[in-house]
A and B are shown apart, each in its own frame.
Chain A
Amino acid sequence: MITDRELDKLIICKKCHKIHEVEQLEHGEIATCSYCGTTLYSCDKDSIKKAFALSLASMIFLILTNFFPLVQIDFLGSEQYVTIFKTMVTLSSEGFWFVALMVSVLIFISPIVIVMIHIMLFGLIYFKREKELARKLLIFLGYILPWHMSDIFLISILVALVKLIGFVQINIGIAFFSLVAFVIIDLYITRVMPMHTLWFNYQKVFEDE
């Protein structure tokens, strides 16, 4: 029999499902799957502190993204702009309530919830507080992560803009640039703090006394 403690030292590759034993790494080192090359885990001693600071920064960019126009167009003297909120309102007012609901979950609700969970989680782990709450947040994060598509939405804006080039005059708004910043920071956080690393940090802080 393998004990739970020993099981915690194992990691299964998300791509090829081969089992690996977690080894002690040097600061800055990255462990990859020897079968398929996927990144398994990495070692960064200040990762929680960095992730905490970055998640606070991403919150600011997310607020800017949600409150300012993404794009503004000018066509024969009449102006129009689009915000994340306006896409949802337009869809639901035209009767596409399911699309509106799905879009609002994917690009509005999930990003906000994920950023708030990140901030609380990194804070709780950093200050070693509220073990039970941290556990619940981690579990909830696992459920909500697949329902987050800010990055795909960013690509969609670019596609929409390319479609409009030549027909209208396009002005890129503040929200567009803050969305770019948000997506980059978010990708970085999920890269250095995948689920496995988050739980690893949780156990190191709350369970290994």
Chain B
Amino acid sequence: MSNKIFESKEDLLRCPLCEAVNYDRGRLTKCRRCHSSLYSYKYFKNEKSVAFLITAIIAYIPANIYPMMITKNFGHEISSTILGGVILLWQQGSYPISLIILFASIFVPIVKFVILLYLIINAKYPKQEVSNSTKKNMYYLAEIIGPWSMIDVFVVAILASLIHLKSVEIIAGNAATAFALSVFFTLLAAQSFDIGSIEKHKEGQGDSRDSKTR
């Protein structure tokens, strides 16, 4: 069944934790149901989110420079970076796996960085060329694809504990720590980003298509 959209004269906020509908009381308020902090777009500055995101982007640099996985084959050592691993798999003909790693380790983190960075900057210096509902869809996309970035770390963890043979050995590289840190801080950045700040400039600054459905 398709649900009718409710027309409300009041500003209402969705609690990200328990999904309760709350009044937007203009200042830092507590959710009426779970008492977690709800930030109103009028006063919130995504400072925490910015700090987490910058940390995540910085950690992503060594994650791509250092080797992710080191293979010791009869004393012969091969170390590969994330991108190196993707290229190697492609050359070996494992196209699906190569594409999965490319998507999970390169595409997902970069898309998340770009989306969050764009939303944070846009909340601070609003321009209305993109509608609010598109921005909310962008945030939703970042949330949905986020966990996929852990695939390569898990794969390295599995291979490193499985391939410990006399002749062949796989060990994790330093990029694993950098990459895990990057994922960790991206998750924190996404969670501390306030979705309400997208709506910051609905009053008096156009975008009437969206503000009608408040």
Contacts and interface: CB of A to CB of B under 8 A. Distances in A.
- The answer on A and B forming one complex is yes
B150 A149 contact: yes
A90 B163 CA distance: 11
Most buried by B among A31, A99, A194: A99
Interface in B150-182: 150-151, 153-155, 157-168, 171-172, 176-177, 180-181
Nearest to A97: B177
Interface residues of A, number: 71
Contact of B4 (A1, A20, A142, A143): A20
Given A14-B19, A90-B160, A160-B159, A31 B1 contact: yes
B20 A16 contact: no
B160 A142 contact: no
Interface string B30-42: 0011111000000
B113 interface: no
A75 B168 contact: yes
Contacts of B6: 10, 19-21
Given A2-B10, A195-B19, A103 B157 contact: yes
A19 B8 contact: yes
A18 B137 CA distance: 12
Given A18-B213, A34-B4, A86 B177 contact: no
Interface of B: 1-6, 8, 10, 12, 14, 17-23, 32-36, 89, 94, 96-97, 100-101, 133, 136-137, 140, 147-148, 150-151, 153-155, 157-168, 171-172, 176-177, 180-181, 183-184, 187, 191, 195, 213-214
24 contacts: A4-B32, A7-B23, A15-B136, A17-B14, A17-B133, A17-B195, A21-B6, A32-B1, A34-B5, A35-B5, A35-B133, A40-B3, A75-B168, A80-B162, A87-B161, A99-B177, A139-B18, A152-B150, A156-B155, A157-B154, A159-B100, A159-B101, A164-B162, A195-B19
